[in-house]
Amino acid sequence: MTSSPSESEPLIRLLWRAHNWFRAALTTAFETQEDGSAISAAHVTLLSQLPSEGASIAELARRLGVSAPTAHQWVHELVAAGVLTVESDPRSARSKLVLLSASGVRRREETMQILAGIEATLAGRIGADTVTALRAALEEPWGSPESVAVELPGPSTP
């Protein structure tokens, strides 16, 4: 018997749990590397949201859902670790651009290999077809989040 959406866990909670599962698996994989290249869960999250072309700290903060000072602190820590650089943004003289360093690019390549292994392990646990369907659903265009509000039913009157 299936439960109705109102009786089951909200999808956002399930997605958050899945995000945390991937982040914990990746963080644990880094901790087990012999080169001492442990990286925090916060750093994994930031790096997962950094586009290849770079981003401002404000943009990273928006993507991560954290304050600009928090994003700035994480960026500073990753700069100190040699994974990121902060350079002048060629599009705006007043803005800085956060980019992967050469070491960061290598780290991202390693990370992508580890993530592929994690995804393969997940496919072994829940089924390759399930992972394929999950990926397909997440890759679909969902429309803007703001457009959802106009589609919601109004409050019911007693």
Q: What is the pLDDT along the chain (158 residues), one digit of tens a residue?
A: 455 555 799 999 999 999 999 989 988 888 887 665 667 888 888 888 899 899 999 999 999 999 999 999 999 999 999 999 999 988 888 889 999 999 888 888 888 888 899 999 999 999 999 999 999 999 999 999 889 988 888 776 55
- pLDDT the model gives residue 94: 84
- pLDDT the model gives residue 5: 55
- pLDDT the model gives residue 37: 62
Nearest partner of 75 among 104, 39, 51, 46, judged by Cα: 46
Please give the Cα distance from 59 to 77 (Å, whole number).
Answer: 17
State in words which class domain 11-129 has: mainly alpha
Please give the Cα distance from 90 to 76 (Å, whole number).
Answer: 21
Please give the Cα distance from 32 to 34 (Å, whole number).
Answer: 6
Nearest partner of 73 among 90, 87, 61, 55, judged by Cα: 61
- pLDDT the model gives residue 109: 85
- pLDDT the model gives residue 4: 56
Amino acid letter for position 137: A
CB 10 within 8 A of CB 4: no
With a threshold of 0.75, does the pTM exceed it? no
∠ CA(119), CA(104), CA(21), 5° rounding? 30
- pLDDT the model gives residue 74: 94
- pLDDT the model gives residue 130: 97
How do the domains of the chain map onto residue ranges?
11-129
Residue written as tokens 């960026």? 75
CB 49 within 8 A of CB 39: no
Please give the Cα distance from 50 to 56 (Å, whole number).
Answer: 9
